[in-house]
C-alpha cells in the first residue's frame, strides 16, 4: 500500500503545473517551489523502486548504522547548503529580474494632478476610477519632480530619462544664446520670418525613450500631445506634438478680439476695432507676417459680420465661410486659406465665440491654428499622421496650449465658455486615446491631458486652504476637472487586459501664487544691478531695456533663474572667473536671508547651485542659481522677461492664482500603476527606465533613474 501511494502521489504532483507565487521581494517562494519539486521527485522514485531499495537497505543497514554520525553531518550539510543556495538565488533574481514583462505599456499623463487634492477627493468617494485602480491591486505614490518643477523641464526629463543638464531645458523662459533677451525654451527658432518647418529646431539634446534603437521605429509607440515634442522628427514612431506647437504667427497662441467699442486693448491680445454700418460690421483678422526682403507684411483675413440683434446671433462671412453663431455660444470649426504670396498659402483652423451683439459687437476669434489636414509645419511623425487623425476623428486643436487662459484672464471668455473649450480639448484627446488603444496592441501608447494644469492655474482660489497653504477643501471647478479625468481612467481600466501595464503620472502638483517677487528690483536695491533710468508704470524695463550692463553683476531671467554677468559668457559680462564663486556664495546667502516683512515670511526655501544639481553637455545653458520658493511666492511676471516692477513684493491679483514654480518639495507629482512598482523615493527620472523594464527591453546607460519595475533588494 505504501509503495502504491508513494508512486501515485509523487507522479501526479510532478506532472501538475507549479503554481506561481509572488510575495514581497526577498521572500522564499522560489525556495519552497523548487525544494518541493525535488522532494516529490524523490517520493516518486521511492514508490517505483520500493522493493529493491528495501532489499539493499536490509543488507547494508549493519554497516550504515555504525557510521551514523558521518551520515548525520553529511545530511545536515546538504540540507543547509540547499537552503542557503535557494535563498541567495531568490535574492539575486529579485534584483536582476523585473516582476513581469508586459506586451504593452499605456501612459496616462495628467499635467499638474496634485496628490493632496487627489487624496481628498478619493476620501470623499468622488474618484471611482482611481478607487478601482486601488481595488485591483494598484497603488498611488507621490514622486519627486525636477528642480525647477516647471512643465517643460519635467516632461523633458520624463521623456529622456536625464536631468536638465543633459536634455537642455531649464526653464520656460531662458536667455537667447549670445544675448540677454528672453527666449522660449519650448519653441526654438533657426531664424527668419518665413513660414516653413525649417524655421524651428528640435529642443531636446538627447533622444526620448520611444526614439531609442531598442524600440521598433515606426511601430513601437504612439505618443499623443507629449509636451516639448515640436518639431517632431520626420521618421520614427507615431507622435502628435504637444506643448510647443505654435500658431501660424509662430507664437504659442494669440487670440483676436473684434469689437465696435472703444475699450482699450488688454494684455497680449490682438484688438481689432471693427466698423459698423447698420447691422453690418467689417474688420480684418491679422494673419502671419511675411518677410518681403525690405519689410514685414501682415497677411489678413477680411471679415464681415451680419448682426441679428433680435435673434441674439450673428453670421460671420470670411474666406468663403458663412457661419451663424448665437450669443454666448461657440462656432464650429472654421477653415480658411491665407494667401502669402503668388506661390504660397497657409491653411488655418479656428473657432469663434460671440459674447455680444449689442450695444457693441464683442467677438472672440481663437488663435489661427495650423490645419491638421494640410499644415504648413510638421505636426506629427510621420508627417501624414496628423491628417489621418483628422480624417478619421474630425478636426482638432493643433496648438500646443489651446486652452486660452489668457482670454479668460482678460474677460474675453467667460468661465462657462472657457470650460466648454477645455471640455472640447479633453474630448479630442480621449477619442485619440481610444483609437490608439484599438490600433496598438503592443509597445507604448501614451497620451497627455493638460486640463488639470490649466484649470488649477486660474481656479485655485476656489480651494479652501489651511494656515500653511495646504488644500483642505477642493473647489468645485477643480473637483469636476479631476472627476472628468477619473472617468477616462475608469473606462481605461475596463479596456485593458493582463498583458498591459497602465502607468498614470503627473509632472508636478500645485500650490498658491499669492505674492510676486520682483528679483531684479531686489538686485538693483542690493547693488548687484544698475539701471540707466527708474522704472515707471508705462516703462518697466522689459527685455532689460533699462539695465546698464557695464555696472551690472547679477540679473534674473525666467521663473526661477539667476545669472552672473560673466565675462566671456555674456555679451557685456564684467564678472571675472575668479570673482564668480565668491559672488555666487554671497548672493545665495543674501537671498536665503530675504524677508517679506509685511507677512513675516521668507520667500525662498532653498537656493540651488546649478553645478550641484545638473550635469551634462548642456550645463552651460543653465542659470547659475535656481530658486526654490516657499508656498505662496513666485517670481514676478516682470522679472521673468527681464523687467523691474519697482517693488520687491507685490500681491498677485490676477485670475492666474495657482502655480507650481516653487521648490519641488512643495509640489510632488503622482505616480500610479496597475502593476507593482518599487516607488519609494521615486522621481520623474525613473519613468523612462521603468517603461523599458516593463516591456522587457534592455536598460540604457544614459538613463539616470532606476527601473521601478525591478524590486529593490
Q: What mean pLDDT do residues 133-142 have? A: 96
Rounded to an integer, what is the distance from CA 578 to the centroid of its chain? 39
pLDDT band at 72 (very low <50, low <70, confident <90, very high): low
Segment 196-248, tens digit of pLDDT: 445 789 999 999 999 999 998 988 999 999 999 999 999 999 999 999 999 99
Spatial distance between the Cα atoms of 463 and 478, rounded to a whole number of angstroms:
8
Residues for the chain: how many in total? 713
pLDDT at 702: 96
Task: Calculate the average pLDDT of the chain.
Answer: 88
Q: Report whether 666 contacts 630 (CB < 8 A).
A: yes
Q: Residue 339 pLDDT > 70, yes or no? A: yes
Is the distance from CB of 345 to CB of 335 less than 8 angstroms? no
Q: Which grid coordinates are listed for 356?
A: 455680444
Structural domains of the chain, ranges and CATH numbers in brackets? 2-96 (no CATH), 103-165+206-245+400-510+667-713 (3.40.720.10), 248-376 (no CATH), 513-659 (3.30.1360)
**Which pLDDT value is given to residue 341?**
81
Residue 3 has pLDDT above 90, yes or no: no
- CB contact at 8 A, 144 and 684: yes
pLDDT at 457: 98
pLDDT at 297: 82
Residue written as grid cell 492666474: 656
Distances (CA, A) of 322 to 280, 303, 314, 315, 336: 14, 10, 10, 6, 12
d(CA 320, CA 626): 52
pLDDT at position 388 is 98
Average pLDDT over residues 647-671: 97
Name the DSSP class of 371.
P
Residue 692 vs residues 130, 237, 441: alpha-carbon distances, Å: 24, 15, 16
Q: What percent of the chain has pLDDT over 70?
A: 84
**Residue 550 contacts residue 572 (beta carbons within 8 Å):** yes
Give the pLDDT band (50/70/90) at residue 343: confident
pLDDT the model gives residue 93: 37
- What SS3 state is found at 227? coil
How far apart (Å, rounded) are the C-alpha atoms in residues 334 and 203? 31
Q: Are β-strands 280-291 and 296-308 bridged in parallel, bridged antiparallel, or unpaired?
A: antiparallel
- pLDDT for 14 equals 37
DSSP H/E element including 317: strand 313-318
Task: Determine the Cα angle at 665 with ends 659 and 671, to 5°.
Answer: 85
Q: What is the pLDDT of residues 362-414, one digit of tens each?
A: 999 999 999 999 999 999 999 999 999 999 999 999 999 999 999 999 999 99
Q: pTM of the full predicted structure?
A: 0.86
The pLDDT of 67-77, averaged and rounded, is 63
Q: Which residues contact 472 (CB under 8 A, 6 or more apart)?
A: 120, 464, 465, 466
Q: Strand ranges (DSSP E) for 67-126?
A: 104-110
The grid coordinates listed for 637 are: 511676471
For position 290, what pLDDT does the model report?
81
Q: What are the pLDDT digits (tens) for 644-657?
A: 988 999 999 999 99
- What does the alpha-carbon distance between residue 331 and residue 253 come to, in Å, rounded to a whole number? 18
Amino acid at each position: 500500500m505504501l509503495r502504491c501511494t508513494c508512486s501515485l502521489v509523487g507522479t501526479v504532483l510532478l506532472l501538475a503545473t507549479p503554481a506561481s507565487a509572488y510575495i514581497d521581494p526577498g521572500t522564499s517562494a522560489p525556495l519552497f517551489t523548487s525544494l518541493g519539486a525535488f522532494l516529490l521527485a524523490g517520493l516518486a522514485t521511492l514508490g517505483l523502486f520500493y522493493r529493491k531499495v528495501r532489499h539493499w537497505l536490509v543488507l547494508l543497514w549493519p554497516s550504515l548504522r555504525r557510521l551514523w554520525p558521518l551520515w548525520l553531518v553529511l545530511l545536515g550539510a546538504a540540507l543547509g547548503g540547499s537552503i542557503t543556495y535557494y535563498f541567495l538565488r531568490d535574492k539575486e533574481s529579485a534584483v536582476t529580474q523585473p516582476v513581469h514583462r508586459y506586451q504593452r505599456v499605456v501612459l496616462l499623463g495628467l499635467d499638474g494632478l496634485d496628490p493632496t487634492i487627489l487624496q481628498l477627493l478619493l476620501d470623499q468617494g468622488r474618484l471611482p476610477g482611481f478607487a478601482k485602480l486601488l481595488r485591483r491591486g494598484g497603488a498611488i505614490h507621490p514622486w519627486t519632480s525636477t528642480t525647477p518643477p516647471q512643465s517643460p523641464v519635467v516632461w523633458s526629463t520624463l521623456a529622456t530619462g536625464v536631468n536638465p543638464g543633459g536634455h537642455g531645458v531649464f526653464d520656460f523662459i531662458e536667455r537667447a544664446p549670445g544675448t540677454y533677451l528672453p527666449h522660449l525654451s519650448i519653441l526654438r527658432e533657426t531664424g527668419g520670418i518665413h513660414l516653413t518647418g525649417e524655421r524651428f529646431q528640435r529642443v531636446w539634446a538627447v533622444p526620448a525613450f520611444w526614439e531609442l534603437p531598442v524600440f521598433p521605429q515606426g511601430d513601437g509607440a504612439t505618443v499623443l500631445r507629449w509636451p516639448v515634442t515640436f518639431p517632431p522628427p520626420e521618421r520614427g514612431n507615431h507622435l502628435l506634438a504637444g506643448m510647443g506647437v505654435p500658431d501660424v504667427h509662430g507664437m504659442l497662441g494669440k487670440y483676436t478680439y473684434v469689437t465696435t467699442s472703444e475699450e482699450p486693448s488688454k494684455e497680449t491680445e490682438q484688438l481689432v476695432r471693427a466698423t459698423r454700418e447698420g447691422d453690418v460690421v467689417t474688420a480684418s483678422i491679422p494673419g502671419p507676417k511675411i518677410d518681403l526682403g525690405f519689410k514685414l507684411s501682415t497677411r489678413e483675413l477680411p471679415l464681415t459680420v451680419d448682426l441679428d440683434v433680435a435673434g441674439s446671433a450673428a453670421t460671420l462671412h470670411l474666406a468663403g465661410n458663412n457661419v451663424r453663431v448665437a450669443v454666448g455660444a461657440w462656432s464650429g470649426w472654421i477653415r480658411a486659406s491665407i494667401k502669402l504670396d503668388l506661390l504660397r498659402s497657409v491653411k488655418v483652423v479656428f473657432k469663434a465665440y460671440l459674447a455680444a451683439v449689442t450695444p457693441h459687437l464683442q467677438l472672440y476669434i481663437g488663435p489661427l491654428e495650423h490645419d491638421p489636414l494640410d499644415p504648413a509645419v510638421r505636426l506629427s511623425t510621420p508627417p501624414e499622421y496628423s491628417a489621418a487623425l483628422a480624417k478619421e476623428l474630425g478636426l482638432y486643436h493643433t496648438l500646443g496650449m489651446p486652452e486660452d487662459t489668457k482670454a479668460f484672464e482678460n474677460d474675453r471668455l467667460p468661465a462657462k465658455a472657457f470650460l466648454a473649450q477645455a471640455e472640447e480639448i479633453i474630448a479630442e484627446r480621449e477619442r485619440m486615446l481610444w483609437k490608439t488603444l484599438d490600433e496598438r496592441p503592443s509597445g507604448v501608447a501614451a497620451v497627455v491631458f493638460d486640463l488639470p494644469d490649466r484649470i488649477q492655474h486660474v481656479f485655485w482660489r476656489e480651494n479652501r486652504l489651511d494656515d500653511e497653504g495646504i488644500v483642505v477643501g477642493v473647489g468645485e471647478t477643480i473637483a469636476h476637472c479631476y472627476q472628468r479625468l477619473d472617468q477616462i481612467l475608469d473606462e481605461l481600466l475596463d479596456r485593458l487586459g493582463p498583458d498591459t501595464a497602465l502607468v498614470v503620472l503627473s509632472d508636478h502638483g500645485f500650490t498658491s501664487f499669492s505674492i510676486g517677487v520682483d528679483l531684479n528690483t531686489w538686485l538693483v536695491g542690493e547693488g548687484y544691478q544698475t539701471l540707466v533710468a527708474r522704472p515707471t508704470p508705462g516703462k518697466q524695463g522689459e527685455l532689460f531695456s533699462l539695465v546698464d550692463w557695464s555696472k551690472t553683476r547679477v540679473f534674473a531671467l525666467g521663473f526661477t533663474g539667476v545669472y552672473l554677468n560673466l565675462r566671456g559668457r555674456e555679451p557685456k559680462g564684467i564678472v571675472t572667473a575668479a570673482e564668480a564663486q565668491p559672488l555666487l556664495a554671497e548672493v545665495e546667502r543674501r537671498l536665503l536671508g530675504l524677508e517679506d516683512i509685511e507677512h513675516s515670511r521668507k520667500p525662498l526655501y532653498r537656493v540651488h547651485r546649478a553645478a550641484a544639481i545638473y550635469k551634462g553637455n548642456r550645463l552651460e545653458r543653465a542659470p547659475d542659481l535656481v530658486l526654490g520658493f516657499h508656498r505662496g511666492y513666485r517670481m514676478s511676471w516682470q522679472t521673468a522677461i527681464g523687467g523691474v516692477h519697482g517693488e520687491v513684493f507685490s500681491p498677485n491679483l490676477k485670475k492666474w492664482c495657482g502655480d507650481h514654480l516653487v521648490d519641488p518639495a512643495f509640489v510632488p507629482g503622482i505616480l500610479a500603476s496597475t502593476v507593482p512598482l518599487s516607488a519609494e523615493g521615486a522621481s520623474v527620472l525613473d519613468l523612462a527606465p521603468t517603461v523599458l523594464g516593463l516591456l522587457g527591453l534592455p536598460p540604457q546607460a544614459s538613463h539616470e533613474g532606476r527601473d521601478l519595475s525591478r524590486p529593490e533588494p
